A = this chain, B = another copy of it.
Amino acid sequence: MSLFANTPAPPYYSVIFSSLRSGSSDGYDDAAQRMLQLAADQPGFLGVESAHEVSSGFGITVSYWNSLEAIQRWREDSEHQTAQKKGQTQWYDTYRVRVARVERSYGFGEAQ
Contacts and interface: CB of A to CB of B under 8 A. Distances in A.
B105 A96 contact: yes
A59 B53 CA distance: 9
A107 B95 contact: yes
A59 B54 contact: no
Interface residues of A, number: 44
A54 B52 contact: no
Contact of A109 (B14, B95, B110): B95
Interface string A1-21: 001110100100010101010
A5 B14 CA distance: 17
Contacts of A62: 16, 18, 60, 62
